[in-house]
Amino acid sequence: MGAYIGVWVGEYQCRVAEWVRLYRGDGSLVPTLGELAVLERARAEAERERAERAEAELERLRALLREKGIEL
């Protein structure tokens, strides 16, 4: 599996302390379920914002085409 257990200093359940955590072979932390949920919410929000920007740009381009008498 290439993982190991180590000590991590950080906040968990509103307490800053040393915690036993699982690490990957490359030294990065294996995220907890809570950390994964936070990351997923951030990813979903970023995707929503990207989609909104794309829709706004599409509408801007459509408006430019309408100004030139081109309808899609």
pLDDT per position as a tens digit, 23-69: 999 999 999 999 999 999 999 999 999 999 999 999 999 999 999 99
What is the overall mean pLDDT for the chain?
95
Over residues 11-24, the mean pLDDT reads 94
Cβ neighbors of 19 (< 8 A, separation 6 or more) are 7, 8, 9, 10, 12
Give the residue extent of every domain in the chain: 1-30, 32-72
pLDDT at position 29 is 96
Q: What is the DSSP string of 2-68?
A: --EEEEEEEEETTEEEEEEEEE-TTSPBPPPHHHHHHHHHHHHHHHHHHHHHHHHHHHHHHHHHHHT
Q: Which of 14, 19, 12, 50 is nearest to 33 (CA)?
A: 12
- Higher model confidence: residue 17 or residue 71? 17
What is the reported pTM?
Answer: 0.69
